[in-house]
Amino acid sequence: MIPLKHIDCILLDMDGTLLDKYFDDYFWEHLVPEKYSEKHGVTFGKAKDILFAMYKSHEGTLNWTDIDFWSNELHLDIPALKEQIKHMIEVHPHVEDFLKAMKKDKKKVFMLTNAHYKVLDIKLKKTEIGGYFDRCITSYEMGFPKEMVEFWEKVETMLKFDKERTLFIDDTAEVLRTAKTFGIKYLLLKTGASSKKKDTVTPEFPVLKDYRELLNTVQHRT
């Protein structure tokens, strides 16, 4: 298990890591295709085929999570649609307990997300977890997605953390690979990103299934 006593800085992804990714999966895989099919007069199945091909072509880029980009591309009001179903935004179990414990333990806690700042605002208002973070940083702000080393270089310059005393948790292996290449010492893959989907990939990083696992290390230390 991660030796939290040796860690000063905790970096956390948002979607899938802190929040249930079911909201995002439902939004992009069901609601957007439904609205696209109505808008453009195609079947739901055809809309999914068109959209999934578009999603794939922008995956790993800033466009991927830029809701203004998608509003323009799809001729849909993406922020308004997000607001429509914001009641579905949920925090993973024991996340808030973990964040409280880390603040009590005087850790520096930062959110690093590829989510667009407008989406970040919607989700922080709904969940009220924003108060636990020293700062929330978006890839839009950095000019690079987390999958690129340039993102990490800019974040390190901004936050001035010690890579040897930093823990990063994310639900995406590709992002963790980049963080590892950059030199972040402690890495965890959050499994169970969506409460409605089973994990299908064999993890290549140490796994965090539930935040109680990390809370237990704090309690054993005290």
The pair phi, psi for residue 36, each rounded to 5°, is -65, -40
Instruction: Find out whether 204 and 173 touch, Cβ atoms under 8 Å.
Output: yes
**Which residues does residue 108 pair with via DSSP β-bridges, in sequence order?**
9
Indicate if the pLDDT at residue 218 is higher than 70: no
Q: How far is CA 144 from the centre of its chain?
A: 15
Q: Which tops the pLDDT comparison, 35 or 204?
A: 35
For the segment 5-28, the average pLDDT, to the nearest whole number, is 97
For the segment 149-178, the average pLDDT, to the nearest whole number, is 97
Query: And the tokens for 95?
Result: 């996340």
Distance between CA atoms of 32 and 74, rounded to whole angstroms?
9
Q: At what angle do helices 32-40 and 44-58 cross, to 10 degrees?
A: 120
Distance between CA atoms of 18 and 110, rounded to whole angstroms?
12
Indicate if the pLDDT at residue 219 is higher than 60: no
> For the segment 88-122, what is each residue's pLDDT rounded down to a tens digit?
999 999 999 999 999 999 999 999 999 999 999 99
pLDDT > 90: percent of the chain = 91
Question: Alpha helix locations (H) across the chain?
Answer: 22-26, 32-40, 44-58, 67-74, 78-84, 95-104, 117-127, 139-142, 149-159, 173-182, 212-221
Q: How far is CA 100 from the centre of its chain?
A: 19
Distance between CA atoms of 72 and 209, rounded to whole angstroms?
37
In the chain the domains, ranked by start, together with CATH numbers, are 4-21+90-221 (3.40.50.1000), 23-87 (no CATH)
- Residue with tokens 């690129």, as numbered in its chain: 148
> For the segment 30-66, what is each residue's pLDDT rounded down to a tens digit?
999 999 999 999 999 999 999 999 999 999 899 999 9
For the segment 167-196, the average pLDDT, to the nearest whole number, is 97
Which of 24-38, 101-115, 168-182, 205-219 is least confident? 205-219
Distance between CA atoms of 136 and 181, rounded to whole angstroms?
22
Query: And the tokens for 2?
Result: 């991660």
Indicate if the pLDDT at residue 83 is higher than 70: yes
Check the CA dihedral 167-173-28-210 and report its sign.
negative
pLDDT band, very low/low/confident/very high, at 222 (cuts 50, 70, 90): very low
What mean pLDDT value characterizes the chain?
Answer: 94
